Structure 1
């Protein structure tokens, strides 16, 4: 199959994923305007430039894509698998060495970030030759709204990370990680 044929097949696959995972989208033509499609188009272009060592051009594509999508920021060095989906998308941040498997879904305000160069664990791993600073998500992972995953952690296949969870350690395959839920307390009645 030609490169153009593969490209068209990937676009159709992405449009089908958007229609399947977002009930408000009713057709492929409507899916063309979904943030996931625009984000992936920008990221795949930026990633190709990044791999070709055209770093400034890759960053420019990333910056323009972020402006068009309302704040979805994916470093052009991140690796993203097939059938990736971002629901709503605003405020999503994905770092340079993040690796995302196939069939992964993220919701708005998700961060796949590093712990920072000042953090001892990250520094020790870099000194040991480990270049990865960001999370690796296995196939079929879902990450809920506002979740933050930091450092070179691995999230196993089919894991579910709940909304607002802070994840700093590896997550096994199929696990569910939940943030503490809010609790309702009765107001104290004035005496």
Structure 2
């Protein structure tokens, strides 16, 4: 345990230029306090002293504003900077040399796709920015960076940089685009229309054009049917489109 404490002290000086003395870190750094108390709480948890482990965890939350479930597995040289409002769930696994900032949530899903696993796994050297939410039994690859306020609900490959969030209210044009994308099998809302990315804008432009074209074709077919023309074959013909490829290039 003393080795872990020394490592946790050294990592503060390595990653926080504001740290000046050991005494300052020991007395004034809530991230250091939270990790120290978690060592105790996790040890009790693994020894089946569940209530006492939760009590130690609760005291740590009261003192630091950082909530770490005693069941969480945290590697060596992890650094929690500031930390207020950070929540780390029971089945979370945090690899060595990770860095978390304030307001981070490593949360779980009630209906887990992996039995007994509801919270994320962070590989070595992952950085999670302030306010980011990493939700569910997903895996974040080694060296990945999660931007501030990002919402991550899918696996992240090693070294990737994840930015932006998922939640947005759609207007009529967005709903039409989404409906067309679903017909084509394309996950349009894996990307957001307000992202300043020319590829994203181009894809949304193509989807918008497709919606308008479909509306025009439908109007023409109705007119022809009113004139007695059988358009059943034209209606049955499907578009030749590879949604898998489009999903792959924008995910």
**What's the TM-score bracket when you normalise by the shorter of the two chains?**
0.7 to 0.9
Larger Rg: 2
Whole-angstrom distance in 2 between the partners of 1:11 and 1:99: 19
Which of the numbers 34, 39, 44 marks the counterpart of 1:49? Answer: 44
TM-score (norm 1): 0.83
The structure with more helix, counted as a fraction of residues? 2
5+ unaligned residues in a row in structure 1: which ranges?
1-6, 184-191
SS at the partner of 1:67? helix
Whole-angstrom distance in 1 between the partners of 2:157 and 2:38: 28
Spell out the pairing of 1:1-191 with structure 2 (5 A cutoff).
7-33=1-27, 34-69=29-64, 71-117=65-111, 122=112, 125=113, 130-179=115-164
Whole-angstrom distance in 2 between the partners of 1:132 and 1:39: 23
Deviations 1:99-131 (A, max 9, x none): 0000000000000001224xxxx2xx35xxx21
Whole-angstrom distance in 1 between the partners of 2:44 and 2:131: 30
Aligned-residue offset at 1:67: 0.7
Whole-angstrom distance in 1 between the partners of 2:38 and 2:7: 16
Whole-angstrom distance in 2 between the partners of 1:141 and 1:45: 24
Aligned-residue offset at 1:19: 1.3
Deviations 1:47-77 (A, max 9, x none): 01110111110010010000111x1000000
Whole-angstrom distance in 2 between the partners of 1:172 and 1:16: 29
Whole-angstrom distance in 1 between the partners of 2:129 and 2:148: 4
Judge conservation of contact 2:32–2:80 (CA < 8 Å) in 1: no
TM-score (norm 2): 0.64
Relative contact order: is structure 1 or structure 2 higher (C-alpha 8 Å, sep ≥ 6)? 1
SS at the partner of 1:102? coil
The structure with more strand, counted as a fraction of residues? 1
SS at the partner of 2:39? helix
Query: How many residue pairs were aligned?
Result: 167
Whole-angstrom distance in 1 between the partners of 2:121 and 2:148: 18
Aligned-residue offset at 1:41: 1.2
Aligned-residue offset at 1:35: 1.1
5+ unaligned residues in a row in structure 2: which ranges?
166-193, 197-251
